[in-house]
Amino acid sequence: MRKKCIVTVLAMIFSLFVLTAGGVAGELDAFKGQRGTLKISGGTAHIPVMKEAAQRIMSAYPDIQISIAAGGSGVGIKQVGEGLVNIGNTGRKPTDDEIARYQLKLHQWALDGVGVVVSPKNRVKALTKAQVMDIFTGRINNWKGVGGENRKINLYTRDEASGTREVFWEKALDKQPISPSANVVVSNGAMKSAIAQDPYGIGYVSVGHIDRTVAPVALDGVIPTIKTVKEGKYKIVRGLYSNTKGEPTGLTRAFINYLYTPEGRKITEKEGFIPFP
């Protein structure tokens, strides 16, 4: 009972925010009369957009509960395929095998880049693709080798379920094996805080997650930003997908449609991604 009260109060506060921020409830009309829970899991790059969208929907329609969990693209596919969640997010295109096995329907709603990041304290701010390959495969293991301080390079990579890792490995490393001594972190957020903490670290995150705490590294002279991704200059690019098992219906359908509305696209843009299509 008390929990319900708190939720209601929160919802009221949020709706106040939405109203004062001038948000038009028009695009949320599709949720009218909807109730129940919507479960989302998977890709960690998607989370800021999912959270913002969920917050707006839930504050306008308190009968709707949306839960968002992380886990990585692999988890997203598995859980949506097993029917544990309604939407499984992936930061890579699901493989043909996965699509066939789980009858997945793909909904791509954004473009994203995967950028190499270092600590802002690091003076190395540009690398060639060959240097990035040498660093991540372990052939170069001191910052001196690429014009930095005489300190060991601390590599950070992502776990096996990560779509970000898959894309980076395929497009930046040309599928060369990442050094086994690399540290492994479990989300884009964790990667960001690890690199922000470690002045001698290097890792890669979704471009949407790059902020002041980490410094993007120019790859062959192109700095990974929304602009360079959009213009097609930055090459390590991927789609962000929300996948459903079969055609989505009801609340799931409404949520996915919402991502494509002008308001949904605005959220996508605000969180640092490029709305697609």
Partner 1 sequence: MSDWKERGAEKIFLLSTIISSSITLLILGFMAFMALPLLRGGLFYLLTEPWAPQQGLYGIYPMILGTAVISLLSLLFAFPLSLGCSFLISSIGPKSLSAAFRRMVQMMTGIPTVIYGFVGIFLLVPVIRELFQSGSGMCIFTASLMLGVLIAPTMILFFCDSFDRVPRSYIDAADSLGANRAQTLLYVIIPLARKGIFIGVLLAFGRAMGDTLVSLMIAGNSIATPGSLLDSVRTLTAHIALVIAADYESPEFRSIFACGLVLYLFIAVVILAVRRLAFRESGKRA
The CB-of-241 to partner 1 minimum distance in angstroms stands at 16
149 binds partner 1 (CB under 8 A): no
End-to-end CA distance of the chain: 43
Nearer to partner 1, 8 or 95 (CB): 95
Contacts of 137 (CB under 8 A, 6+ apart): 173, 176, 177, 178, 179
Residue found under tokens 């409404």? 254
**Whether the Cβ atoms of residue 191 and residue 96 lie closer than 8 Å to each other:** no
In the list 43, 48, 56, 74, the residue contacting partner 1 (rule: CB under 8 A) is 74
From the CA atom positions of the chain, what is the Rg in Å?
20
The CB-of-206 to partner 1 minimum distance in angstroms stands at 18
Nearer to partner 1, 160 or 174 (CB): 160
Rounded to 5 degrees, what are φ and ψ at 276? -135, 140
The CB-of-198 to partner 1 minimum distance in angstroms stands at 5
Nearer to partner 1, 49 or 155 (CB): 155
The CB-of-50 to partner 1 minimum distance in angstroms stands at 18
**Whether the Cβ atoms of residue 36 and residue 251 lie closer than 8 Å to each other:** yes
The CB-of-137 to partner 1 minimum distance in angstroms stands at 12
Nearer to partner 1, 78 or 209 (CB): 78
**Whether the Cβ atoms of residue 192 and residue 95 lie closer than 8 Å to each other:** no
The CB-of-127 to partner 1 minimum distance in angstroms stands at 19
Nearer to partner 1, 8 or 193 (CB): 193
Among 17-25, 53-61, 172-180, 213-221, the segment contacting partner 1 (CB under 8 A)? 172-180
91 binds partner 1 (CB under 8 A): no
Kindly state the helix (H) or strand (E) to which residue 216 belongs, with its residue range.
strand 215-216
* Beta strands 215-216; 104-118: pairing state: antiparallel
200 binds partner 1 (CB under 8 A): yes
Residue found under tokens 């991604």? 273
Longest dimension (CA), the chain: 62
Give the binding site for partner 1 (CB under 8 A).
71-72, 74-75, 78, 151-152, 154, 156, 159-161, 177, 179-186, 193-194, 197-198, 200-201
